[in-house]
Amino acid sequence: MQRFIVLTLNGLTEGSIYAAMALALVMIWRATQVVNFAQGAMAMFTTYLALFSLERGAPYWMAFLVALLCGLLLGGVIERVLVRPVESAPPLNIVILTLGVLLVLEAVAPMIFGGQIRSFPAAFSIVGIKLGSLQVPFSAFDLFTLASVVFLMVLLLLLFQKTDLGLRMRASAFNAEVSRLLGIRVGRMLTLGWALASLVGALSGLLIAPTLLLYPTYMDQVLVFGFTGAILGGLDSPPGAVVGGLAMGFSLSYVGGYFGSDLETVGALVILVAVLMVRPRGLFTLRAQRVV
């Protein structure tokens, strides 16, 4: 039973990080119908920038902020400069383009920051919290991870549901032509969508770095798990992305804990295939099938 609790709490923390990555992918998919394979590498790069700032004496939270803002900027620039010119190209071309961006980032990062494995500091203690005499397998940093992901998601929810800007962004994602007829600057909204998504991705990179350690490809598996979570939830659905990401966290944790960590991915794969057999377009997709 105690083992189960440990694994559940661990799954919750890691799941929230996968949920953030899944949400980033879903936001970009909704805005531009692109699966952004460079999302993980972008988060890796911004986390290196945070480490770079830390090493030059910046306070921790300043470095954190630098990474998030650079994520925002990087996402916007990539959309505007690289994705916009190919927006009407076949989907596979855009996939290859984002793969190219991934390779460039993963090659340039070690050129600038060095290729060796680096440790990345956690904002809070990673030792389990003490409740009286009982030590819970849940650290202050775990709590921070969970809280910051939830906080960012609530902010995004408010932005999209309660503000005019969010309304414009949603309209642009659903129907660019009608939105333009209503005077919405759709191009700017899509750039902003990429920027915000990349900020969410950057957060996931910062939060998992203390656990995984920092090296040029450390986000690859987070991208795969996040992508799997997004697929699980349905690529069109932000709540689906969150649920899918959490489900990935729990299942990876249980499979790893009970069957051995070398079977984690296989277990996740089995779940994914099982869900897709029943619902080929994910759990949360309500909309009619997109006619490609």
Partner 1 sequence: MLEITNLTVAYGPIVALDNVSFSVADGSITAVLGANGAGKTTLVRTISGLVRSRAGSVRLDGRDISRLAPEAIARLGIGHVPEGRGVLAELTVEENLRLGGLSRADRADRQAALSEAYELFMPLAQRRHLPAATLSGGERQMLSIARALAARPRVLLLDEPSLGLAGRVLTQIMARIKQLVEDRKLSVLLIEQNARSALSVADDAVVLSLGRIVAHDRAQRLASEEGLRHAYLGF
Partner 2 sequence: MAIRLARWPSRTTPTLGRHLALAVGAAILLLLLSSQIGAYDDYNLAEVAIFVIAVAGLNVLTGVNGQLSLGHGALMAIGAAARLRGPYLAGATLALAVGLPQIATRYSHVFGGEEGLTVTPPGPPDWLGADFPPERWMAWIAIAAALVTIVLLANLLQSSVGRSFKAVRDHEAAAALAGIDVARTQVHAFVVSSACAGLAGSLFAYWSGLTAPAGFGVALSLQLLSAIVIGGLGSLSGAVWGSIILVIIPALTGGLASSLSLASSVANNLPLAIYGSVLVLAMLLVPNGIDGGLRRLLVLARTRWTGAPSTHKGVVDWDDPSGG
Contact residues for partner 1, defined by CB under 8 A: 164, 167-168, 170-171, 174-175, 177-186, 287
Which tokens in the block code for residue 274?
Answer: 């099982």
Question: Nearest distance from residue 105's CB to partner 2, in Å?
Answer: 8
Question: Nearest distance from residue 96's CB to partner 2, in Å?
Answer: 5
Q: Which does 235 bind (CB under 5 to 8 A by kind): partner 2, partner 1, none?
A: partner 2
Q: Which does 104 bind (CB under 5 to 8 A by kind): partner 2, partner 1, none?
A: partner 2
Stated as kind and residue range, the H or E segment containing 130 is strand 128-131
The secondary structure of residue 290, as a DSSP letter, is P
Going by DSSP bridges, is the β-strand pair 134-139/128-131 parallel, antiparallel, or unpaired? Answer: antiparallel
Type of residue found at 155: L
Question: Nearest distance from residue 80's CB to partner 2, in Å?
Answer: 13
Question: Nearest distance from residue 182's CB to partner 1, in Å?
Answer: 5
Where on the chain is the footprint of partner 2 (CB under 8 A)?
29, 35, 82, 85-86, 89-97, 99-108, 110-111, 114-115, 221, 224, 227-228, 230-231, 235, 260, 262-266, 268-269, 272-273, 276-277, 280-282, 289, 292
Name which of 172, 202, 244 is nearest 38 in CA terms: 202
Q: Which does 178 bind (CB under 5 to 8 A by kind): partner 2, partner 1, none?
A: partner 1
State which residue, 88 or 133, has the beta carbon closest to partner 1: 88
**Does residue 32 sit in helix, strand or coil?**
helix
State which residue, 125 or 161, has the beta carbon closest to partner 1: 161
Stated as kind and residue range, the H or E segment containing 134 is strand 134-139
State which residue, 279 or 287, has the beta carbon closest to partner 1: 287
**Does residue 214 sit in helix, strand or coil?**
strand
Name which of 201, 202, 177, 171 is nearest 189 in CA terms: 171
Question: Nearest distance from residue 286's CB to partner 1, in Å?
Answer: 9
Kindly state the greatest CA–CA separation across the chain.
64
State which residue, 23 or 169, has the beta carbon closest to partner 1: 169
Helix axes 2-32, 238-259, angle to 10 degrees: 150
